[in-house]
Structure formats: C-alpha cells, structure tokens
Structure 1
Amino acid sequence: MGGQGKVGRQVRAWYSGDAVAVASPDLSKRDRLSVRGPVAELAPLVERVLAEVGTSFRPFGDEQVIRELAERVPGMSFTATFGWMDTADTATLPTQTAKTVWLQGDSGVEELLAEASPDSYAWPGRTGVLRWAAATSDAGELLSIAADAWSAPEVGFLAGVATRPDVRGRGLSQQVCAFVTAELVKRHGTCALMVDAGNAAAIAVYEKLGYTYRGVAAASVEPSS
C-alpha cells in the first residue's frame, strides 16, 4: 500500500507501509525531503519520490536512518550530521534580565547578521522567516537576535541566533533564546531548533534552557544521467 497527499504551501507527503516521506520546498534554504520509518520500506519509497520531485530535495532524518539509506539508494551520499533539539517546558527558563522584545519589522537585523553570523540560514525576507526578537540596549540598539522561522502549527522553530561581537559573554544570546522559546512554546506547545553537531558551546546553552538533543543527518542525491 502507498499513497501521497498535499499538506499545504506546496508541501507533499508520501507513505508506504510504515515509511513516510515529506517534501518541503525552500525550507531553511533548501528543498528538504524529511523521512521516517523502517529503511527496508523507506528506500524504495525515497527512490520513487525523488524520481517524481527531483534530486534538489535532500533527504533528512534520524542519523542512522540516513546512513542506511545512503547505502541503499543509488546516487545518495551521506552529507552531514546535526542536532535536533526541542523542549515543551518553560518552567526552568531564566528570568529576563535584558530588555528583550519582538521587533516591529527587521531594521538592523541584516547588519547584525552580516557582522556576527553571515552563514545564518534565517535572514529577513527569506521564505518562512516570520519575525525577529532582540535583546536591546537602553538606547534601542540590537545586541542579540533570534528568529521565529519555519514554525509549524504544533512546533515553533527558533533560528538565526546572533550576538554582536563586542557584547558577547554577557549571556545575551541565552536571554533572547529564552524569550523566543517561551513565546513559541506558548503558541505551539513545543519549540525546536537545529544546531551543528560539533557546536558544543551552543548545545550547552540550549540544554540549560531545557532542550534535549537528538542526532539527525542529511544526504544529497546526484542527478541521474
């Protein structure tokens, strides 16, 4: 048995037995194919889906699943590991000590990102990036920022975290992330984020905010000749 359906905003889903694949175009800078289920059922499903949607869609899922898929699906290569972190608990979030607010617009955000985090996936105006929060100085200067980006009805997503280099070490990123986390948990029930697997400092900050870590990975697929 198998099938497919439209989820919304051009998102499409397929299933076969217990295997599920969801194609999301232009999600966090790339076309993503989120996969879940037993690899024996996923492998033929992913091959069929990629033949339909094209190899621009990068398979994404639990690390071990992606590693096994890369061994089974022709042209697929294991690319990178990440951490998926999420929380539904705001009881342990720190008390706000900095002025942290949702911005009205995104003035100053691009400049801060260009200086502090030029490789950020979240930028003003990018598809799915909804709004920005900032810890600000008394004069209203942006000191540390984070975005509500690519959120879904049941999971809010935190991204675009950046702190001005000259004010690092003051706990401002933790403050702005705590603010966004509380807001997104209140709205969606859960808040999640992605972090590089090797970024121990960032992982430690998020764990202090109550997030738990799960290893995930991505693969790429060569176009068929």
Structure 2
Amino acid sequence: MLTSDDPLIIWAADQPGARVFTRPGAVAVVCPDLARHDRMPVHGDPGAVAALLREVLPLAGPTFRPLGDESLMTAVAERLPMIEVAGRFGWMDTATAPSATAGQQPHWLGSGELPEVTALLDEASPETYARPGGSGVARWAGVRDADGTLLAVAADAWSSGRVGFLAGVATAERARGRGLAAALCAFVTRELLVGRDRVALFVDHWNSAALATYKKLGFALRPVAAARRS
C-alpha cells in the first residue's frame, strides 16, 4: 500500500513492474527500467529509510540504485555503509499549465517523423535518455521551421497516471536562442497535465540554460541524489 504523497514516489509506483515496500516512516519503490535505469525511489525519515533499505536492497538486486532528496540520501548513506551517494541532479515539477507562446506552433509528431527526431538528437543531444523506440517513450512533439525542417523536440516518456514526465528536450544548434525549447516544453507540459496532478522532469545542475527555461515555465527545483552499492 502506498503511504506517501511524494510525487517522485507516486511517479515510480505507477510504472510497469514497480514494487512498493513500506515500513513506519519510510517507503521504497523498486522500479525496473525507469528512464533507462533500474531505480529505487525512497522517501521518509533517514533512519527508517536506512532500515528499510537493509531489507529491500538484497531483494532488489545489484542493478537498483536508491534515489531521493539529496539531503535524505546523504543522511541515509551515513547510516548505511553498504551504499554511497554517486550522483546529484534535479527533479523539477509543476502543477500549473504554462501559457502558450505566441508565434510558435508545436505539435505531436507522427511515426513517420521519428527518423528526423533521431537525427536531431544525434546532433544536438546524443546522451539523452529518451530516444525514439525506447522503452517507456510514448510520443514526441516538435517545432518545425517555415521550410519544414525539424528544429526542436521533446518527449512524453515514462509518464504515469498521475505524473506526466517530460524528457528528450533538444534544439538544433542553428536554432538555439529563439525560445523554441520553451515553447515546446510549454506545449508538452499543458498536454501532459490533462487528467494528471503534475508534470515532472530530471535536469542536470550544471545546465543553467535548461534550469532557467523550466523555472520560467513554473517548474520548481528539488535537489535529488542517487546512491550505489559501495
């Protein structure tokens, strides 16, 4: 039974194959192949989460990495020598639909347009987790130039029933600085909020341009961290 209203936990718990483990003051979700990794989002009191992970980590297997608030994961790692903090990044989410941007016309792309998405990602964002045809990647939106050239893309990927997830945002190098990513992310966010509580995404702390764009669209930043077996 899910005992947390944490959006990160809700997002993971509603994914295919997810298993939820709870103890007083702690919850962990063992979720395979979530955003291309076996993840284990956790939430609760550091002592209770550490105790729960002592039980759950051996059951989950070595590929699953605990994930949660940065302060929580730091405190849990101090109590649990079997893990160490390995990566720090950001979870951002919003429950408010951003306004449409005048002059831009983002739209959902058809299956025949996916090779263009792949080509744009190969050029502009080769390390993105969301790729056409990837597990959990549902659909792609894009913005085209007047001549029909695809200039920017973003994906609806790993969305759950209550939390939409935005991923794979990329803009062709020659089209950057024109507000295309902002317009596209606003469109996808509005679409994903229909029937859901909120929309979320992962972001790297160093990506100041992306952080600024998402904050302008109403996304709030939450520092998170992932741990690995030590």
Please report the TM-score for the alignment, with normalisation by the length of structure 1: 0.91
Contact 2:106 2:183 in 1 (8 A): yes
1:30 aligns with 37
**Sequence identity of aligned pairs in percent?**
46
1:88 aligns with 95
Deviations 1:108-145 (CA, angstroms, capped at 9, x unpaired)? 11111010001101111111111000011233321000
Task: Report the CA distance between 1:79 and its aligned residue.
Answer: 1.1
1:220 aligns with 228
Residue in structure 2 matching 1:104, options 107, 110, 113: 110
Contact 1:7 1:13 in 2 (8 A): no
1:3 aligns with none
User: Tell me, which stretches of 5 or more residues in structure 2 are unaligned?
Assistant: 1-12
Residue in structure 1 matching 2:179, options 171, 174, 178: 171
1:67 aligns with 74
Task: Report the CA distance between 1:7 and its aligned residue.
Answer: 6.0
Tell whether 2:167 aligns with 1:159.
Answer: yes
Tell whether 2:63 aligns with 1:56.
Answer: yes
Please report the TM-score for the alignment, with normalisation by the length of structure 2: 0.89
- Alignment CA distance shift 1:165-1:104 (3 Å): same
Contact 1:122 1:160 in 2 (8 A): yes
Distance 2:196 2:135 in 1: 19
Give the secondary-structure state (helix, strand or coil) at the position aligned to 1:108. Answer: helix
Distance 2:44 2:155 in 1: 31
Aligned pairs, how many?
A: 216
Distance 1:187 1:177 in 2: 18
1:142 aligns with 150
Q: How well do the aligned residues superpose, as a CA RMSD in angstroms?
A: 1.5
Deviations 1:122-175 (CA, angstroms, capped at 9, x unpaired)? 111111111000011233321000000110111100000000011111111111
Give the secondary-structure state (helix, strand or coil) at the position aligned to 1:218. Answer: strand
Distance 2:176 2:208 in 1: 16
**Residue type matched to 1:75 in 2?**
M
Residue in structure 1 matching 2:128, options 120, 128, 136: 120
Tell whether 2:16 aligns with 1:9.
Answer: yes
Deviations 1:177-225 (CA, angstroms, capped at 9, x unpaired)? 1110111112423111111112222111111111111111111114xxx
Contact 2:42 2:67 in 1 (8 A): yes
**Residue type matched to 1:99 in 2?**
Q
Give the secondary-structure state (helix, strand or coil) at the position aligned to 2:162. Answer: coil
Distance 1:167 1:112 in 2: 11
User: Tell me, which stretches of 5 or more residues in structure 1 are unaligned?
Assistant: 1-5
Deviations 1:78-121 (CA, angstroms, capped at 9, x unpaired)? 1121111111112x524242221000122311111010001101
Contact 2:163 2:199 in 1 (8 A): yes
Contact 1:97 1:175 in 2 (8 A): no
